[in-house]
Amino acid sequence: MIDTEHYSKRLTARRAELVERMNRIEDWLDDTPNPDTEERATEREQDEVFEAQGNEDQKEVRAIDAALQRIENGVFGICMECGEEISKERLDAVPYTTRCRNCMT
């Protein structure tokens, strides 16, 4: 039996970390650009990196939200492809996964 409370706590904590990081990224991106041309080029490169990280964080938050919904619906830990139970080891590694190891390959 899957300890959904354990995974719910982990997912909720991870979600909070990601939201905090996304807020910091948003603050960074909203900062007024430096008027120095050389520094602006460097800042633009950094902005691209932060923006990419923010996009990845948003994807993970959506996956976490979906996993929390599966917990609420009583289907957490069930492979959405084959219907078999996802192993504890896989859930421990990626708690928002939707597929078992066999269906991932």
Interval 51-103: pLDDT, tens: 888 889 999 999 999 999 999 999 999 999 999 999 999 999 999 999 999 99
- Report the pLDDT value the prediction gives residue 51, as an integer from 0 to 100: 83
Q: Among candidates 46, 12, 5, which has minimal Cα distance to 29?
A: 46
Separation of alpha carbons 31 and 101, rounded Å: 43
Between residues 33 and 52, which one has the greater pLDDT? Answer: 52
The answer to whether residue 49 sits within a structural domain is: yes
The answer to whether residue 43 sits within a structural domain is: yes
Confidence of residue 36 (pLDDT cuts 50, 70, 90): low
- Report the pLDDT value the prediction gives residue 66, as an integer from 0 to 100: 98
Q: Is 78 helix (H, G, I), strand (E, B) or coil?
A: strand
pTM over cut 0.85: no
- Report the pLDDT value the prediction gives residue 56, as an integer from 0 to 100: 94
**Domain that residue 16 falls in:** 4-76
Domain count, the chain: 1
The answer to whether residue 22 sits within a structural domain is: yes
